[in-house]
C-alpha cells in the first residue's frame, strides 16, 4: 500500500503521523511511504532521517494526498486537507467528530473511509490509541494548572505545593480515568492537596488503593461536584464519553462563584469540553478569563511535547497501520472488531452511532457500510 504522511497544519501542532522507525517498519514489509518535507521537524527528525528509513520526500501536502491510498496523521484534518481527500482513500487519525458538524459533513462528502484513533477499542474495554495521549495530557494538565495559578496569567498567586507553613493548592480532578489518574500523579508529585471525583466506585477504589491517604476520593453527585469545585484553587476536567460530546459538569453560574484567580483546565475540550464556559484555545494563547477564573482549554495539549507524544502514539498506532496496509480496509476491519469500532465515516455514510445521533445522520454499522 502507498501511505502518505502530511505535515500537520493545525496551529502549534508539532507531532507527526509516523516516526522514521515506523516508516522503516512499513518499508521492510513492502509498502511505500511518502512524507511531506519538514513533517518531522517538530520531533527532531529531519527529511534525511525519513529518507534513510526509505521514505520519499515531497514538497507540499497536495503531492502526499494525491498519491496515497492511506493518509496517516495526528490531528483531525483541517478544511484545506479535507478538500484533498478522495473517494476510496483511507484516513487514519484523531477525528473527534461529535462536536464538529463541519468536519463531519466534509468527510461524508469526500467519500473517504475515516478511521478515528479515539474510538478504537480493546478487549478490556479501553481506548488504546487514546490512552497514550491521555497519559501525556493528564500530566500536562497538572503543569498547566500550576502555571495558571501564577499571578502573571491572572491566577491566585498560589504555589501548587505550598511551602512549610503555607498550605498547598487544592486541586480537584473530575474523572478518574487515564487522564485523571495521570493528572493526580503529577499534582500529588508537586505537593498539591488533591481530590478526585468520579461516579464509578470501582474507579475510586482503584485510585484509593494506588495513592493511599494522599488522595481524597469523592463520589460525584451534583451536590458533591459543586461543593468541591467552589472550594478549589484548580479544577482539571478529565471526563470522556467515547465518540460522544462531553457532558458539561460545571455551569457558568458555578464558575462565577469560584474564587477569583482559580483555574479550570479542560482536557475534554476536543470533545466539546466539560465546563460551560470552555472554548478551545491554542498553545499561542492558551488561557482566557471568565469572571476572573483562568481557563486553559488547549485542544491539542500533547502537541506541546511532540517528541514524547509522537513516539508514544506510534507505539499504539503502528500495529493498526500495518494491518490496514497489509489487509486493506475491509480485511483489517473484518479481522479485528476493535479496529472496526474506529470506522467513523465510510463512502458517504456515518458509521459511529454517537456522531450520527449528534449531527442528524442515518447510522449504519461498519459491517453494513463495508458490505454495501
Report the SS3 class of residue 159: coil
Reply yes or no on whether the pLDDT at 60 is more than 90. Answer: yes
pLDDT tens per residue, range 99-131: 999 999 999 999 999 999 999 999 998 999 999
What's residue 245's pLDDT? 82
- Is 338 among the residues known to form the active site? no
pTM as predicted: 0.87
- Is 346 among the residues known to form the active site? no
Beta-strand runs (E) in the chain: 2-5, 32-36, 56-58, 70-72, 90-93, 113-116, 170-174, 193-198, 215-219, 234-237, 263-266, 287-290, 293-296, 343-346, 349-350
In percent, the amount of the chain with pLDDT more than 70 equals 99
pLDDT tens per residue, range 282-312: 999 999 999 999 999 998 899 999 999 999 9
Cα dihedral value 190, 191, 197, 200, nearest 10? 80
Rounded to whole angstroms, how far apart are CA atoms 118 and 111?
A: 21
Q: Which of 96, 295, 346, 359 is catalytic?
A: 96
Q: Which of 106, 193, 233, 270 is catalytic?
A: 270
Quick one: which of 91, 87, 39 has its CA closest to 61?
39
pLDDT tens per residue, range 184-213: 999 999 999 999 999 999 999 999 999 999
Reply yes or no on whether the pLDDT at 224 is more than 80. Answer: yes
Residue with cell 478518574: 176
Rounded to whole angstroms, how far apart are CA atoms 148 and 132?
A: 24
Rounded to whole angstroms, how far apart are CA atoms 179 and 167?
A: 25
Rounded to whole angstroms, how far apart are CA atoms 269 and 266?
A: 6
Q: Is 361 left (phi over 0), alpha (psi -120 to 50) or beta?
A: beta
Rounded to whole angstroms, how far apart are CA atoms 132 and 312?
A: 6
Rounded to whole angstroms, how far apart are CA atoms 77 and 10?
A: 8
Q: Is 125 left (phi over 0), alpha (psi -120 to 50) or beta?
A: left
- 262-290 burial, b if ≥16 CB within 10 A, otherwise e? bbbbbbbbbbbbbbebbeebeeeebbbeb
What's residue 351's pLDDT? 98
User: What residues contact residue 2 under an 8 Å CB cut-off, 6+ apart?
Assistant: 31, 32, 33, 34, 67, 68, 69, 70
pLDDT tens per residue, range 16-29: 999 999 999 999 99
Rounded to whole angstroms, how far apart are CA atoms 143 and 128?
A: 24
Count CB-CB contacts under 10 A for residue 164.
4
What's residue 372's pLDDT? 80
What's residue 244's pLDDT? 75
- Per-residue confidence band for 219, with pLDDT thresholds at 50, 70 and 90: very high
What's residue 288's pLDDT? 98
Mean pLDDT score of the chain, rounded to an integer? 96
pLDDT tens per residue, range 243-261: 678 889 999 999 999 999 9
Q: Which of 200-209, 227-236, 267-276 has the lowest mean pLDDT?
A: 267-276
Amino acid at each position: 500500500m502507498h501511505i502518505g504522511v502530511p505535515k500537520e497544519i493545525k496551529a502549534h501542532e508539532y507531532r507527526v503521523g509516523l516516526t522514521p522507525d515506523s516508516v522503516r517498519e512499513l518499508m521492510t514489509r513492502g509498502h511505500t511511504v511518502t512524507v511531506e518535507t519538514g513533517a518531522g521537524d517538530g520531533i527532531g527528525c529531519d527529511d534525511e532521517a525519513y529518507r534513510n528509513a526509505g521514505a520519499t520526500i515531497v514538497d507540499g501536502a497536495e503531492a502526499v494526498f494525491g498519491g496515497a491510498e492511506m493518509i496517516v496523521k495526528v490531528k483531525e484534518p483541517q478544511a484545506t486537507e479535507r478538500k484533498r481527500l478522495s473517494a476510496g482513500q483511507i484516513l487514519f487519525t484523531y477525528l473527534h467528530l461529535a462536536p464538529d458538524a463541519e468536519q463531519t459533513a466534509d468527510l461524508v462528502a469526500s467519500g473517504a473511509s475515516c478511521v478515528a484513533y479515539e474510538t478504537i477499542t480493546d478487549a478490556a474495554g479501553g481506548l488504546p490509541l487514546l490512552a497514550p495521549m491521555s497519559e501525556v495530557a493528564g500530566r500536562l494538565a497538572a503543569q498547566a494548572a500550576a502555571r495558571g495559578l501564577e499571578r502573571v496569567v491572572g491566577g491566585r498567586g498560589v504555589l501548587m505545593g505550598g511551602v512549610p507553613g503555607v498550605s498547598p493548592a487544592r486541586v480537584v480532578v473530575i474523572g478518574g480515568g487515564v487522564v485523571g489518574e495521570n493528572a493526580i500523579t503529577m499534582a500529588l508529585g508537586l505537593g498539591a492537596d488533591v481530590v478526585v471525583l468520579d461516579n464509578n466506585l470501582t474507579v475510586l477504589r482503584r485510585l484509593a488503593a494506588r495513592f493511599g491517604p494522599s488522595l481524597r476520593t469523592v463520589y460525584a453527585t451534583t451536590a458533591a461536584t459543586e461543593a468541591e469545585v467552589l472550594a478549589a484553587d484548580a479544577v482539571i476536567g478529565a471526563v470522556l464519553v467515547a465518540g460522544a460530546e462531553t457532558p458539561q459538569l460545571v455551569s457558568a453560574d458555578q464558575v462565577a462563584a469560584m474564587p477569583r484567580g482559580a483555574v479550570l483546565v479542560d482536557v475534554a475540550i476536543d470533545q466539546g469540553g466539560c465546563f460551560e464556559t470552555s472554548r478551545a484555545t491554542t498553545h499561542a494563547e492558551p488561557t482566557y478569563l471568565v469572571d476572573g477564573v483562568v481557563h486553559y482549554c488547549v485542544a491539542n495539549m500533547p502537541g506541546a511535547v511532540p517528541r514524547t507524544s509522537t513516539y508514544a502514539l506510534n507505539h499504539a498506532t503502528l500495529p493498526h497501520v500495518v494491518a490496514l496496509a497489509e489487509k486493506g480496509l475491509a480485511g483489517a476491519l473484518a479481522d479485528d472488531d476493535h479496529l472496526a469500532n474506529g470506522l467513523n465515516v465510510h463512502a458517504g455514510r456515518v458509521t459511529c452511532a454517537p456522531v450520527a445521533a449528534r449531527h442528524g445522520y442515518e447510522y449504519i454499522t461498519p459491517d453494513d457500510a463495508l458490505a454495501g
